[in-house]
Amino acid sequence: METIVSVTGGKVRGVTEGGVSSFLGIPYAAAPVGPARFDLPRPVTEWSGVRDVLSFGAGCLQSPYPPPIEALIGHELIAGDEYLNVNVWTPDPGGSGLPVLVWIHGGAFVRGSNALPIYDGGTFARDGVVTVSINYRLGLSGFAAVPGAPLNRGIHDQIAALRWVQENITAFGGDPGNVTVFGESAGAMSVVNLIASPAARGLFRRAIVQSGNASGVAAAGDARLTAIRLAEKLDIEPTPTAFGAVPPERLQAAQDAIALDLMTKPDPDRWGATVITGGLGIMSFFPVIDGDLLPARPLDLITSQPDRAVPLVIGWNREEFRFFTFPAGLDAGITDATLPLMLPRYGIDPAVADLYAAHRPGASAADLFAAIASDLVFRDDATRIADYVVAQGEPAYVYEFAWRSEVARLGASHAMEIPFVFDRLDDAHRLTGPTPPQPLADDMHSAWVRFATHGDPGWSRYDTTGRPVRIFDHPAAGEVPDLRGDELQALRESRTR
């Protein structure tokens, strides 16, 4: 059955099946092509008549994931200019007052789109929540610090999408006063940036941060060095006009070359120290401290400004870093001999590994590195944010996802929770294996629905005394106080010496 809705720009025609209406690829801003690729998002171009929005829209310029990662999560890139678009799923476009979830995808700020099957919001709409997934500018399009161009264009896009939600979600039955923004990986970092940014205040009521980091930003001056290196590869002047005149395929090739150079030759003198440290050795183009959207590091903004606190679900996966090491075979290079040399590069005293090893009899050096790096990059910031949110009187709920996939020795790795959150296990067998536990998806998905609906996911509120953490696992689950608190404390102390 066709369903027509009026939004900013004109009328759109979606489709209703099984009690869920879907509207895919609706533009929320004008196509950022040519020099406009490096400008702030512009108002959407109006259309006449009724526009069919029956299939996913384009994604931003990018290359496929490396083969080991693409084999796990896929890569649904659709070419086109109108890549600033949203998808909407609703149980009742004629209704009103429904809770709203807004999803921001991950991909290290250089890859990803809102078209992945495991991001399909129809499952949330099935359970009464209007769900929106957004695309935004990635890589050099969204985050290259081109001299003369606005910084953090990708974050500006996210804010523009949230404003679109405020202006249009009632047409889909949603309540603009009950919006929860959620994301994973770079999407979770985006959520943290939006919490921290004064420009996003009032655009959402609650937030869910899945495997995010609040320290992954660069100084603008350092990031400009990367943009200059990019211009050198293209043999152009580092200006928005010159970049805008380069064909997309050349931009993509240069972006990939920069990423490879940075990962293989991480010289702070060449790239800027904060590009190396803020990028965690993984990211090449990502948010910067711009004095506007992000006046400082997001962690510092959130933990120093009382008005930044919002009701929050925040958590991590127990073995996040296995995703970055084991599928590509990098674990083979992490040995008892090399681990003590690797940890200082992350500012960690190698002695910390002794405590982690004592708690994990039989663990390999690669296992220990994954555990330590997971805590460093994801868990540390998450608990600091939760501490501050509850200190300001807002509720925070902390979780750890612990179910272990058998695929590629991933364990409870980065991204593993996504199909459980979305209740899309049938689309994720290459990540989870063929028999992921449906009861765990029922549990996790319903918790996200409850939080979006009335702000309580169904487990104990976090506090700075007991520090309860909800463990998502199967068949074992439950709450644990001060989960591995001695390890986290030792990790923090080792970094202050």
Please work out, in degrees rounded to the nearest 5, the angle formed at the alpha carbon of residue 313 by the alpha carbons of 486 and 76.
Answer: 110
- Residue at 48 is within a domain: yes
The answer as to whether 343 is a domain residue is yes
pLDDT of 435: 96
Check residue 52 and give its pLDDT: 98
Give the mean pLDDT of 66-78.
88
On the question of pLDDT at 15 being above 80, the answer is yes
Tens-place pLDDT, residues 135-185: 999 999 999 999 999 999 999 999 999 999 999 999 999 999 999 999 999
C-beta contacts of 261-268 below 8 A and 24+ residues apart: 261/229, 262/226
Using alpha carbons, list the distances in angstroms from residue 181 to 105, 152, 168, 426: 11, 19, 16, 25
pLDDT beyond 60 at 497: no
Boundary (domain end) residue, out of 218, 243, 278: 218
The 8-class DSSP code of residue 198 comes to: G
Between CA 107 and CA 73 the distance in angstroms is: 11
pLDDT mean over 258-276? 88
Query: Cβ(162)–Cβ(194) under 8 Å?
Result: yes
Domain boundary among 201, 218, 235: 218
At which of 235, 270, 286 does a domain end? 286
C-alpha R_g of the chain = 22
- 410: three-class secondary structure by DSSP: coil
261 and 186 in a common domain: no
Same domain, 161 and 21: yes
Judged by DSSP in three states, 96 sits in coil
For residues 228 and 123, membership in a common domain is answered with: no
Judge whether 287 and 215 are in contact, CB under 8 Å.
Answer: no
Which CA distances in Å does 308 have to 109, 179, 350? 23, 16, 35
Closest to 449 in 3D by CA, of 164, 91, 192, 21: 91
Q: Are residues 176 and 250 in the same domain?
A: no
User: In CATH, what number is assigned to the domain containing residue 76?
Assistant: 3.40.50.1820
Give the largest CA-CA distance in the chain. Answer: 67
Instruction: List, by residue number, the catalytic residues.
Output: 185, 320, 414
Question: Are residues 285 and 255 in contact, defined by beta-carbon separation less than 8 angstroms?
Answer: yes
Same domain as 263, residue 114: no
- Does the model's pTM come out above 0.85? yes
Q: What does the pLDDT read at residue 1?
A: 73
Q: How many helices (H) and strands (E) does the chain have?
A: 20, 15
Q: Are 244 and 236 in contact (CB under 8 A)?
A: no
How far is it, in rounded angstroms, from Cα 83 to Cα 304?
35
Residue 76 confidence class, pLDDT cut points 50, 70, 90: confident
Q: Can you read off the two tokens belonging to residue 125?
A: 């709409």
Whole-number pLDDT of residue 412: 98
Contact 106, 154 (CB under 8 A): no
**Closest C-alpha among 217, 226, 222, 175 to residue 196:** 217
Structure tokens at 91: 């149980």
Residue 58 lies in a domain: yes
Dihedral angle over CA of 300, 304, 306, 311, nearest 10: 40
> How far apart, in whole angstroms, are the C-alpha atoms of residue 405 and residue 186?
22
| Whether residue 209 is found in the same domain as residue 225 | no
**Does 305 reside within a domain?**
no
Q: For residues 308 and 104, which has the higher predicted lDDT (pLDDT)?
A: 104
Distance CA 207, CA 256 (A): 32
Calculate mean pLDDT across residues 280-302. 91
Instruction: Please check the confidence at residue 378 and state whether its pLDDT lies above 60.
Output: yes
Q: Does 86 lie in the same domain as 149?
A: yes
Same domain for 150 and 177: yes
CA dist 300 and 64 (Å) reads 34
Same domain, 197 and 231: no
How far is 290 from 171, CA to CA, in rounded Å?
A: 35
On whether both 460 and 352 belong to a single domain, the answer is yes
- Judged against a pLDDT cut of 90, whether residue 269 lies above it is answered with no
Mean pLDDT of 333-357: 94
Residue 66, domain member (yes or no): yes
Token pair recorded at residue 369: 């590195």
Pairing of strands 20-27, 2-7: unpaired
Amino acid letter, residue 300: D
**477 and 346 share a domain?**
yes
Helix (H, G, I), strand (E, B), or coil: what is residue 298?
helix
Give the Cβ contact number of residue 445 at 10 Å: 20
- Considering the domain architecture, whether residues 140 and 184 belong to the same structural domain is answered as yes
The domain tally of the chain equals: 3
Domain assignment present for residue 323? The answer is: yes
From the centroid of its chain, how far is CA 204?
A: 16
Residue 291 included in any domain? no
Report residue 225 as tokens.
């060095």
CA-to-CA dists, residue 448 to 93, 131, 281, 458, 459, angstroms? 21, 12, 31, 9, 11
Structural domain span for residue 191: 2-218
Which residues have C-beta within 8 Å of that of residue 247, sequence separation ≥ 6? none
Q: Can you give the pLDDT at residue 188?
A: 98
Question: What digits encode the pLDDT tens for the residues 387-399?
Answer: 999 999 999 999 9
Contact 232, 205 (CB under 8 A): no
Whole-angstrom Cα distance, residue 420 to residue 402?
A: 12
Which of 58-72, 272-286, 350-364 has the lowest average pLDDT?
272-286
Q: 3-state class of 90 per DSSP?
A: strand
Domain annotation covers residue 64? yes
Tell me what pLDDT residue 496 has: 61
